[in-house]
Chain A
Amino acid sequence: MNKYYLDHLQELESEAIFVIREVVAQFDRPAILFSGGKDSIVVTNLAKKAFWPARIPLPLIHIDTGHNFPETMKFRDELVEELGVQLIVGSVQESINEGRAVEETGLNASRNELQIVTLLDTIEKHKIDAALGGARRDEEKARAKERFFSHRDDFGQWDPKNQRPELWNIFNGRKKMGEHFRVFPISNWTEMDVWNYIRHENIKIPSLYFAHEREAVYRDGTWLPQSEFLVLREGETIETKRMRFRTLGDITITGGIESDADTLDKIVDEVSASRSTERGMRSDDKRSDTSMEDRKKQGYF
């Protein structure tokens, strides 16, 4: 082995930094879509490395469903403070109040799809021309087809059958007025890579990822956390469990797993032994075989 080689995490890091710098060089008003989940935290961290010693020249955009884990909100505010970046919040509740979005009703109601309206409104209001996200191709089969630079038309829509070919590392960010791009710097990372990187870089993440005691109800194969928004169904009971979350989204749709993993080392071990995907815990992906593709076409993350 000669000494002029990078290991896989270094190579993925270098690729992501290159992509983030391309975004800042090619666009006028780029931003980072920040959910408070580990993937967007990693992207934010990579942006910090990409422009050091300067500050991150991008605002963070948070789409607030109003159904948040309090831990996520606290984490977000502390990170924004530490990095000295601008925070833009798009509120789903405001979209509902203004009549731009309509609250779902019924047993499986969630604000997941409503986020699309708020996200696109926020992008338009702040004239964002490139939104960096933490989506990965290994997460989901429609995301496996994503480009690094993913074009969105003036309705914010993705046209998966008509994507620009992407060759080498030459990224074409040319667009017309009103169109924008979604950019995914960690496209080539797997869940395992993200965890190994977080451990290697000792990146701070919300406490929700570590095992803790929590009240939850068992529904559809996962432990849904107790919250003011949870409506118990017949036969369901609240139990106290030692658990953690593998992904973080809206509190009403993010299920946890029973776990004792309370350190990054234990999480890495648990993830590498796991026989199911992280999004298996997300009820938003279970609606149909192509629910991610359908939501992405409309402008979802």
Chain B
Amino acid sequence: MELLRFTTAGSVDDGKSTLIGRLLYDSKSIFEDQMEAVRQSSERKGLSHVDLSLLTDGLRSEREQGITIDVAYRYFATPKRKFIIADTPGHIQYTRNMVTGASTANLALILVDARQGIVEQTCRHSYIASLLQIPHLIVCVNKMDLAGYSEEAFNKIVEEYTEFASKLAVNDIRFIPISALHGDNVVKHSENMPWYQGGTLLHTLETLHIGSDYNHIDARFPVQTVIRPHSDEYHDYRGYAGRIAGGIFRPGDNITVLPSGLTSSIKSIDTYDGPLEEAFAPMSVSITLNDDIDLSRGDMIVKENNQSEVSQDIDVMICWLAANPPRPGAKYYLRHTTNEVRAIIKEVVYKMDINTLEHTEGDINIKMNDIARVRLRTTQPVMYDAYRKNRTTGALILVDEATNETVAAGMIR
């Protein structure tokens, strides 16, 4: 069974909670005691209906205010696939939460109200999905029941969205007309929309091809830690432990270690369950080499004939996550794969207006939730690929040296 991680963003009134509730309920992932607890809480709040958002809004303050503040993770499975939903709030002041939820997703679910069409929030969420290079987008045109199940209304939104999406870097976009409230085209085909010939939402989630989402071409292995047993049996064993970030490694491959440039070849790829003939992303393995070379955490093993970029000047799109703006000239810890260096923001090139997808003129003061293109200068070389080529070796975070807070998420250009 494959694992599909998807993200949704939106506010309560666009039907997102209802849709998630329905997916969970129809796939039998809500248990009776959870349902009973939600029923009781809804009653205590004086609601006439069972508020399914109470299933995902777990914190006291969220339940009191009736809003999602943080990313909530939900899990469900069908006989075909297992799903992890990163459910995030959709307002502009929660851009950072949307970015967080999107960072690990293979798919984004975008909800559009059939009566309202594309609104600011649709653009925002779509842009974040494309910025974070989520490979698949499903646009659910919801509340079709309130739009008379009209094919015309649906087509108009498809057209409008397609035009807008030409500015985005997403290749796989699908449209499904649904009514989350009544269940049309969510799990079962809708009798109200015989004109729609495509798959239901659940069927699409279950069958969409995600096997090519990892980069299996450019071999990358960031070293996490070195395993040295010091036992009689494995006296000279020296295994480089890590999770493969891209490509395929095999014993015998000629490799180069970055940034040192030292070379060797792979002796074995080990796991507790036995040695492997080949290993690929996202497997956790230990690699042993035929030569004793200087190699430790933060270094990256690549193939001799296919190396990543190595530089101290990097061009990055960042999302600022912290309440305090960046301090001029401040140094940050830059964390990238298993590596940590220090960095300064040398230049803010421009800020994005994520509602219009245009650069903001003249304003380059970064604040919380802003998305900006910056140039970073690091104290040590960083071994990276462009984020669009590899979502692991192209991603970084900045950590404030004074507070230890994670202040920015970065996608390397």
- The interface of chain A, by Cβ under 8 A from chain B, is 1-2, 4-15, 17-18, 21-22, 24-25, 48-55, 137-138, 140-145, 160-161, 163-170, 172, 174-176, 187-188, 190, 192-193, 274-277, 280, 289-290, 293
Contact = CB atoms under 8 A, between A and B. Distances in A.
Contacts of A53: 227, 229, 231, 233-234, 237, 239, 270
B397 A167 contact: yes
Contacts of B55: 141
Contacts of A176: 404
Contacts of A164: 405-406
A223 to B, nearest CB: 16
Contacts of A190: 75, 77, 82
A25 B224 contact: yes
Contacts of B286: 52
Give the top 5 A-B pairs by smallest Cβ distance, nearest first.
A141-B58, A54-B229, A49-B272, A174-B404, A8-B3
17 contacts: A1-B211, A4-B211, A4-B214, A8-B82, A14-B283, A17-B284, A21-B225, A22-B338, A25-B225, A49-B272, A52-B272, A54-B230, A141-B56, A172-B404, A190-B75, A275-B31, A275-B32
B241 interface: yes
Given A21-B225, A166-B100, A168-B103, A144 B72 contact: yes
Contacts of B100: 165-167
Interface in B75-134: 75, 77, 81-82, 84, 96-97, 99-100, 103-104
Interface in B37-86: 37, 41, 55-61, 63, 69-75, 77, 81-82, 84
B297 interface: yes
A25 B338 contact: yes
A168 B104 contact: yes
B385 to A, nearest CB: 14
A168 B1 contact: no
Contacts of A143: 58
A14 B395 contact: no
Nearest to A14: B284
Given A49-B273, A161-B59, A172-B404, 12 more contacts: A21-B241, A54-B229, A143-B58, A144-B56, A144-B72, A145-B70, A164-B405, A167-B104, A188-B73, A190-B82, A277-B31, A289-B41
B356 interface: no
Interface centre among B58, B231, B282 (most CB of A within 10 A): B58
Given A142-B58, A166-B100, A277-B31, A172 B284 contact: no
B206 to A, nearest CB: 13
Contacts of B321: 165
A127 B140 CA distance: 51
Contacts of B270: 52-53
- Residue picked from A12, A161, A167, most chain B C-beta under 10 Å: A167
B59 A160 contact: yes
